[in-house]
Structure 1
Amino acid sequence: MKVGRVFYFDASHHLPNYQGACERVHGHTYRLEVVVEDDVGQDGMVLDFGRLKQVVVEGVLEELDHCDLNQVLDNPTAENIVEWIWSRLCGQLNLDSITLWEGRGKWVRRKR
């Protein structure tokens, strides 16, 4: 069974390997969807939503929210941000997918 939670964070960045508007510093309100998959435990849950929140906040949001993403990643494209998030969470959660929305209508998804 799958369960998920949605998070939001704000961050700025620029794309150093890109020619166009995104090579200049700009910001986004990101929407992060984290989905985990596992069997339902004896407690009747796949994963407590509070535990999911704790892992994502401590593993990702404390570092990315209201930061310059170029201080975390050399080339902070949405694809690279998703890979970074996946690497931070995969050891703690049985991830099914991570979807990162960069504003409205633009997203990147990584699946297991």
Structure 2
Amino acid sequence: MICIKEFEFDAAHYLPNYHGKCEHLHGHTYKLVVKVKGRPDEEGMVLDFVQFKHTVNELVVDKLDHHCLNDILPNPSAENIALWVWKQLHDVLHGPNYALHEVQVWETKTSGIVYRGEVC
């Protein structure tokens, strides 16, 4: 089973290694989708949604929301944001019956990145 939580955060960034309009400071309302894969525990849950929400908000959303992402990542492309999110959550969203499965970072409604822990 896959347990899913969606989040939104607003942030600004610029892409210093990119040549185009995104090299200049601009903002997005990002959508973050986090998926945990596992089997239900004795309470019948893969992961308690309240705990799931609290963990992602504390470790990721609160650090990114209304910030300039370049202060956190030197080159905050959607790809690099997804890698950063994965690193923040991988060891924490892991229990006896579940583990982090996937992170999605959407810059717009039609443009996003999916990361599943693959080695790049």
Alignment of 1:27-106 (within 5 A): 27-93=27-93, 94-106=99-111
CA-CA distance at 1:62 after TM superposition: 1.0
Deviations 1:60-106 (A, max 9, x none): 01110000000000000000000000000001111110111101200
Query: Residues of 1 paired with 2:105 and 2:84: CA distance?
Result: 11
Structure 1 ranges of 4+ moved more than 4 A: none
Identity %: 45
Q: With structure 2 as the length reference, what TM-score do the two structures score?
A: 0.91
How many residues align? The count is: 112
The residue identity in structure 1 corresponding to 2:23 is E
Q: With structure 1 as the length reference, what TM-score do the two structures score?
A: 0.98
Alignment of 1:19-30 (within 5 A): 19-30=19-30
Unaligned runs of 5+ in 1: none
CA-CA distance at 1:56 after TM superposition: 0.2
Unaligned runs of 5+ in 2: 94-98
CA-CA distance at 1:48 after TM superposition: 0.4
The residue identity in structure 2 corresponding to 1:58 is E
The residue identity in structure 2 corresponding to 1:68 is C
Deviations 1:18-64 (A, max 9, x none): 11100000000000000001111000000000000011000001110
Query: Residues of 1 paired with 2:5 and 2:68: CA distance?
Result: 24
CA-CA distance at 1:111 after TM superposition: 1.3
Please provide the CA RMSD for this pair: 0.6
Query: Residues of 2 paired with 1:4 and 1:45: CA distance?
Result: 12
Question: SS at 2:51's partner residue?
Answer: helix
